[in-house]
Amino acid sequence: MIVDLPNTTISKVSKSLVQIREQGGAVALGRVLTLVIQTNFKGIEPAIHSANEASREHPCRIIVVADGDAKGSKKTSGLDAQIRVGGDAGASEVIVLRAHGEAAKDPESLVTGLLLPDAPVVAWWPSEAPVKVSESAIGRIATRRITDAANQSNPHAYLRQLAKSYVPGDSDFAWTRLTLWRAQLAAILDQPPFDPVTAVEVTGAVDSPSTDLLAAWLELKLKVKVKLIRTSRGKAVAGIRGVKLIRKSGDIEIVRNVPDVATLIQPTQPTREITLPRRSDRDCLSEDLRRLDPDDLFGKVIKFGFHAKTPTPTVTKK
């Protein structure tokens, strides 16, 4: 069910929520958190789709705060709202707030009256994020703050800024997209022979912030020099292209030349294919919502690995 509330107020939205629960039986019981999404008008539907899918694992109230006038709109100031429950809201209830003009200048006041009582608040910026998320209007009220460096105008510059301004509770999809890569690399190094890694090469697309973070993580954990190799962005494969672990007993390589599948090359073992898909926003959001405490490992990587010594890239041709 979708209820539109044009030219409204937060008080009217809150009352409408109560009426919908009384009339239709939709309740907020079982909601474990409030997810606040801040985006532009264009990003509303993709963000809601990902959040609805993630809500099946993490039932929550979703509040979407969108500012900036839609193309062709003549509105100067005001608030339009929409409430979605039932089949239109996954396992959650969705409140969409489209703010225009002066109403868009104080997003904190828009969402405060709609937060679930005594429940954690998670903030997500699927597109452009504030320079310092923890000091932004929405970031100040959130226990977890999720951004996506890949969607910033300059992903690498954004990571450098995040490294300087990081506070516990900050997270980024560029890190969450590495979960499968980190698990695979850890599993490989947990097998004999247990020769130490003497050097590492990480190859990734020139616009991939995840490549930066993977190199920083490996350098921090293995305490070796990591060579970061940049390739031009390809249409077939985006993001990380491969990792080479150099050891005396022979090099180990993971190479991804096609989407979702990588080739694992190990000494004395047959070459085989492994599944390494690029994770969707839904997958990343679901993972980040599983823990509401700070991600200490990400904090160490971004502050002491990435910020302290960003690997020097070597740009190569595709």
Domain ranges of the chain: 2-147, 179-279
Task: Write out pLDDT tens, residues 39-83.
Answer: 999 999 999 999 999 998 989 999 999 986 544 455 678 899 999
The residues pairing with 229 across neighbouring beta strands, listed in sequence order, are 203, 314
The CATH number of the domain covering residues in 179-279: 3.30.360
pLDDT at 287 (0 to 100): 96
Give the global pTM: 0.91
What is the pLDDT, as a whole number, of residue 313? 53
Question: What pLDDT, on the 0 to 100 scale, is given for residue 70?
Answer: 46
Tell me which residue of 221, 175, 228, 178 sits closest to 200, measured CA to CA.
Answer: 228
Per-residue pLDDT band for 26 (boundaries 50, 70, 90) equals: low
- Report the interhelical angle of 209-222 vs 155-165 (nearest 10°): 50
- pLDDT band of residue 238 (cuts 50, 70, 90) is confident
Which residue shows structure tokens 């990792």? 243
Rounded average pLDDT over 223-228 = 93
Question: In the numeric block, which tokens belong to residue 30?
Answer: 């079982």
Per-residue pLDDT, 87: 76
Q: Is the pLDDT of residue 167 over 80?
A: yes
Cα 253 from Cα 248, distance rounded (Å): 14
Residue 27 binned pLDDT confidence (cut-offs 50, 70, 90) = low
Residues 242-272 have pLDDT tens digits of: 999 999 999 999 999 888 999 999 998 999 9
What does the DSSP 8-state code read for residue 47? H
Inform me whether the pLDDT recorded for 1 exceeds 60: yes
Mean pLDDT of the chain: 89
- More confident call, 18 vs 286: 286
157: Cβ contacts below 8 Å, ≥ 6 apart: none
Q: Is the peptide bond before 193 cis (omega within 30 degrees of 0)?
A: yes
Write phi, then psi, for 61 (nearest 5 degrees).
-95, 130
